[in-house]
Amino acid sequence: MNIELKNISKNFGQFAALKSVNLKVDGGELVALLGPSGSGKTTLLRIIAGLETADAGSVLYNGEDSSTKSLRERRVGFVFQHYALFRHMTVFENIAFGLRVRPRAQRPSNAEIEDRVMKLLKLVQLENLSHRYPSQLSGGQRQRVALSRALAVEPSVLLLDEPFGALDAHVRKDLRRWLRKLHDEVHLTSVFVTHDQEEALEVADRVVVMNEGVIEQAGTPEEVYHHPNSPFVFRFLGDVNLFHSRMEDGKARLGPNGHLKEGSEESCVFVRPHLIDVKTQSDGSEHFAARVRHINAAGPNVKLELMTANGEAVDVTLTQEQYRALGIAKNDQVFATAREMKVFVEDYSI
């Protein structure tokens, strides 16, 4: 099932929550809607589901306008961040619910329901917990039940709104891997809302970055991470240092202070912390001097906080080997060079 959104707009009173959004989701794709809180992700997902109506624009399912169809007709499964399982029903009955409430003519037999629920429980690795009640499950297990419940009615589209948002970091990691596997095994078209860039980059075939009711960029994880089309996307997808710089011969220069404001053509230069080289001696190359203000060596990498001569903080990430080879300590003077930078010429105030 492919989904096409055409010029979707939605206002809440005077507030424009979505501004003419266009998006195509191919059949079988797993797409992440990624953006900060309030950017319109949930509203867009609810419009796709038909739980909310757009003020303008249309939602096409396989090319057909879906506005007249019910949730069941659209064959949409929905999983929320806080999925309220029925507390008085076992895991088994929670999953079976969507099938049991079908009109008699469409309702599978008890044996078929049992078969389908047990298959789903196996898929989410909860087959031994079918008789438990929701209160007897961990958060991660509950979300897996919620997913099974959404899948029980054999949707062709699965919509998930921050499904792992309330879970611990390591459970989230497990579940995101598991969602990817599930999506591939069940042959679904899935749209997955998250504000966590790592989650989006790791799980999705395509990441749709949203900001203030518009799509800033849509592309594969590699495209949006390595070729962001705006400062917003660049900043949202990873740690970044921002320098103001002047342009010389069409090239951005990071001067000795790391902050040159002379010259007419000013630009914003973005540098990822792991793309900055640090030396203890000046070797005449294009660099800026800074002092080491803080070192955090706990973790796979070493994080340095540098302070430039004019008081700007610069984050640098080194490998443990690079750090040891440098032999630097807090308050030492160092010389930093950007190995790779991304320049946005317009002056963005951020």
- Residues interacting with ligand ADP, by CB under 6 A? 12, 17, 35, 37-43
**Shortest reach from residue 19's CB to ligand ADP, in Å:** 11
DSSP state of 40: S
Sequence-distant (6+) residues with CB within 8 A of 11 are: 17, 55
Is the Cβ–Cβ distance between 182 and 122 less than 8 Å?
A: no
Report how many residues bind Mg ion under the rule CB under 5 A.
1
Is the Cβ–Cβ distance between 274 and 301 less than 8 Å?
A: yes
The residue (of 43 and 267) whose beta carbon lies closer to ligand ADP is 43
Is the Cβ–Cβ distance between 297 and 251 less than 8 Å?
A: no
Query: What one-letter code names the amino acid at 242?
Result: L
Task: Say whether residue 190 binds Mg ion (CB under 5 A).
Answer: no
Q: How many CB atoms lie within 10 A of CB 105?
A: 5
**Shortest reach from residue 77's CB to Mg ion, in Å:** 18
221 binds, among Mg ion, ligand ADP, none (CB under 5 to 8 A by kind): none
Task: Say whether residue 43 binds Mg ion (CB under 5 A).
Answer: no
Is the Cβ–Cβ distance between 36 and 211 less than 8 Å?
A: yes
Is the Cβ–Cβ distance between 277 and 292 less than 8 Å?
A: no
The residue (of 157 and 160) whose beta carbon lies closer to Mg ion is 160
The residue (of 42 and 241) whose beta carbon lies closer to Mg ion is 42
Element (H, E) at 202: helix 197-203
**Shortest reach from residue 349's CB to ligand ADP, in Å:** 21
40 binds, among Mg ion, ligand ADP, none (CB under 5 to 8 A by kind): ligand ADP
43 binds, among Mg ion, ligand ADP, none (CB under 5 to 8 A by kind): ligand ADP
17 binds, among ligand ADP, Mg ion, none (CB under 5 to 8 A by kind): ligand ADP
Q: How far apart are CA 118 and CA 96, in angstroms?
A: 10
Q: How far apart are CA 168 and CA 345, in angstroms?
A: 40
**Shortest reach from residue 42's CB to Mg ion, in Å:** 3
Task: Say whether residue 42 binds Mg ion (CB under 5 A).
Answer: yes
The residue (of 41 and 74) whose beta carbon lies closer to ligand ADP is 41
DSSP state of 49: H
**Shortest reach from residue 36's CB to ligand ADP, in Å:** 7
Q: Which residues bind Mg ion (CB under 5 A)?
A: 42
